């Protein structure tokens, strides 16, 4: 009887232990950027704190920044627990940066009808060699050689197909999940997450036997700040921030004291500069946009019948088209942003700023200066010692170098404090 109870208790302990097993999960759907690298590094730490069996990264990405990819690979290789990259759902891709990330995983898995590859460095935003916006052939070759050696090192470390990994960089090779499994680029194919956990169960990974059958899946969400920065680093966002900075700062300069435009413009400028440090910016495009702003301003201050404004519109349009690296669709700025932005910017300078500066150059219409030259009758006799006149609904003290009789018309020639200087205009 005691033996039976002991066996039953052991079964309960084993069941409880099995039920307590946990697997951490994160989902990455979109471009790889700084926020993605931060999210993955934080998730590895949280998964370890939860004593999870492994961290599963469900991945679907068209690519991203090379420096962010390097940070993610470093996180994988230094992770205290196994990291499983699962390219899913069906139809997902792990191209460009995603290829590096998948190959660097402790376990690489794909769902059916998914693809991996096309990791040529020209399609990776940013580079470790200097961030040239239009690298020459030598620079391109250096970047390609670096990427080849980098992915070769990763594939060798994870005991994956080194030759195919190198071809993914050199030749932009891309293959399906079935072919990837056949070529030993990945470790397994799983149609869904439960099947993935079933196949991972009992697998030896980094000296650890995974116990994932029936494990509880704990999803780690992106933090609010990570979500914000993940959305911020898109070219469209930087373009809009740049426009806000331009409108705000120029608006403040032409209408001093407004405060709000300048404050909003300064914040947008700081954010745009942060984005410029991340995204591959073409300096020529930025220079053309700067030239456009100068042409707009010159045309406002020194009217040239719109010739400079037309030149500014053309310069702004060309600069916007050239602003980002077009080697990768990730950094393509759509015409649906460029054309409206060009028209709005031209209208802003022609109508808003132009009208504001014109208003500043109009003659004064209020204040004591408006009384100069006006002719009014004298209320009392006026001489050098004083007198009175009535103007704009008020009685004013007046003085004249020559005596003026009451009722005689006088012309206001100057305003000295609260006294008007007048001269006789006859009766």
Judged against a pLDDT cut of 90, whether residue 311 lies above it is answered with: no
Total structural domains in the chain?
Answer: 3
Nearest CA to 168 out of 188, 147, 184, 186 is that of 147
Average pLDDT over residues 65-77: 92
Domain identity same for 336 and 374: no
Residue 356 pLDDT: 52
Can you give the CATH number for the domain in which 372 is found?
2.40.50.140
Q: Is residue 160 part of a domain?
A: yes
Domain identity same for 117 and 252: no
Judged against a pLDDT cut of 80, whether residue 226 lies above it is answered with: yes
More confident residue, 417 or 216: 216
> How far is 234 from 8, CA to CA, in rounded Å?
58
Domain identity same for 412 and 314: no
Least confident of 33-37, 66-70, 260-264, 305-309: 305-309
> How far is 119 from 164, CA to CA, in rounded Å?
11
> If DSSP codes are grouped into helix, strand and coil, which group holds residue 131?
coil
Domain identity same for 318 and 285: yes
> How far is 91 from 417, CA to CA, in rounded Å?
82
Residue 128 pLDDT: 38
Q: Is residue 169 part of a domain?
A: yes
- The pairs formed by 199-204 with CB atoms below 8 angstroms and a separation of 24 or more are 199/109, 200/54, 200/84, 200/107, 203/107
Can you give the CATH number for the domain in which 151 is found?
3.90.226.10
Query: Which of 223, 249, 276 finishes a domain?
Result: 223
Judged against a pLDDT cut of 90, whether residue 390 lies above it is answered with: no
Dihedral angle sign, alpha carbons of residues 221, 223, 224, 227: negative
Q: Is residue 11 part of a domain?
A: no
Nearest CA to 281 out of 250, 119, 290, 148 is that of 290
> How far is 408 from 388, CA to CA, in rounded Å?
12
CA 121 centroid distance within chain: 22
Is the peptide bond prior to 329 cis by the omega test (within 30 degrees of 0)? no
More confident residue, 178 or 425: 178
Per-residue pLDDT tens for 247-273? 887 777 766 666 787 888 888 888 888
Domain identity same for 90 and 180: yes
Q: What is the mean pLDDT of the chain?
A: 81
Query: Which of 308, 332, 360 finishes a domain?
Result: 360
* Percent of the residues in the chain that have a pLDDT greater than 70, as a whole number: 80
Domain identity same for 112 and 171: yes
Residue 427 pLDDT: 56
Domain identity same for 65 and 165: yes
Q: Is residue 295 part of a domain?
A: yes
Average pLDDT over residues 278-290: 81
Q: Is residue 101 part of a domain?
A: yes
Task: Answer yes or no: are the C-beta atoms of 70 and 97 closer than 8 Å.
Answer: no
Judged against a pLDDT cut of 80, whether residue 221 lies above it is answered with: yes
Q: Is residue 165 part of a domain?
A: yes
Per-residue pLDDT tens for 145-175? 888 999 999 999 999 999 999 999 998 899 9
| Domain extent at residue 38 | 17-223
Domain identity same for 242 and 375: no
Residue 8 pLDDT: 47
Judged against a pLDDT cut of 50, whether residue 47 lies above it is answered with: yes
Per-residue pLDDT tens for 391-413? 876 788 888 888 888 888 888 88
Place of tokens 């036997």: 209
Domain identity same for 142 and 59: yes
Query: Which of 340, 360, 380 finishes a domain?
Result: 360
Judged against a pLDDT cut of 70, whether residue 303 lies above it is answered with: no
Residue 197 pLDDT: 95
Per-residue pLDDT tens for 86-142? 999 999 999 989 999 999 999 999 999 999 998 877 545 544 333 344 445 677 778
Domain identity same for 352 and 372: no
Per-residue pLDDT tens for 318-366? 888 888 765 555 667 778 888 888 888 877 777 765 555 555 555 555 5
Domain identity same for 179 and 244: no
Q: Is residue 419 part of a domain?
A: yes
Q: Is residue 228 part of a domain?
A: no
Domain identity same for 42 and 100: yes
């Amino acid at each position: 009887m005691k033996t039976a109870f002991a066996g039953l208790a052991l079964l309960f302990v084993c069941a409880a232990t099995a039920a307590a097993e946990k697997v951490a999960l994160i989902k990455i759907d979109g471009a790889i950027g700084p926020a993605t690298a931060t999210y993955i590094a934080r998730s590895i730490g949280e998964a370890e704190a939860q004593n999870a069996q492994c961290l599963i990264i469900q991945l679907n990405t068209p690519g991203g920044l090379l420096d962010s990819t390097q940070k993610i690979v470093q996180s994988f290789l230094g992770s205290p627990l196994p990291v499983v990259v699962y390219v899913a759902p069906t139809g997902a891709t792990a191209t460009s940066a995603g290829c590096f990330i998948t190959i660097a995983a402790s376990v690489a898995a794909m769902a059916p009808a998914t693809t991996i590859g096309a990791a040529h460095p020209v399609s990776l935003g940013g580079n470790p060699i200097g961030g040239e916006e239009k690298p020459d052939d030598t620079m391109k070759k250096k970047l390609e050689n670096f990427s080849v050696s980098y992915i070769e090192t990763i594939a060798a470390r994870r005991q994956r197909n080194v030759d195919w990994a190198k071809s993914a960089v050199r030749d932009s090779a891309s293959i399906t999940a079935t072919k990837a499994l056949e070529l030993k680029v990945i470790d397994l194919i799983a149609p869904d997450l439960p099947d993935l956990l079933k196949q991972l169960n009992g697998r030896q990974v980094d000296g650890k036997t995974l116990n994932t059958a029936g494990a509880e899946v704990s999803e780690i969400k992106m933090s609010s700040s990570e979500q914000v920065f993940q959305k911020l680093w898109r070219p469209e966002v930087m373009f809009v921030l740049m426009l806000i900075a331009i409108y705000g700062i120029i608006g403040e300069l032409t209408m001093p004291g407004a405060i709000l435009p300048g404050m909003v413009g300064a914040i947008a400028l700081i954010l745009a500069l942060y984005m410029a440090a991340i995204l591959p910016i073409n300096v020529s495009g930025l220079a053309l946009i700067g030239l456009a702003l100068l042409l707009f301003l010159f045309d406002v201050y020194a009217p040239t019948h719109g010739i400079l404004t037309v030149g500014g519109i053309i310069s702004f349009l060309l600069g916007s088209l050239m602003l980002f690296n077009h080697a990768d669709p990730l950094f393509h700025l759509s015409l649906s942003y460029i054309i409206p932005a060009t028209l709005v910017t031209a209208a802003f300078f022609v109508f808003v700023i132009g009208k504001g500066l014109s208003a500043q150059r109009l003659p004064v219409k209020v204040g004591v200066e408006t009384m100069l030259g006006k002719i009014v009758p004298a209320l009392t006799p006026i001489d050098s010692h004083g007198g009175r006149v009535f103007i704009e609904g008020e009685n004013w003290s007046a003085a004249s170098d020559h005596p003026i009789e009451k009722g005689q018309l006088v012309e206001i020639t100057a305003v000295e404090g609260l006294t008007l200087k007048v001269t006789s205009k006859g009766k």
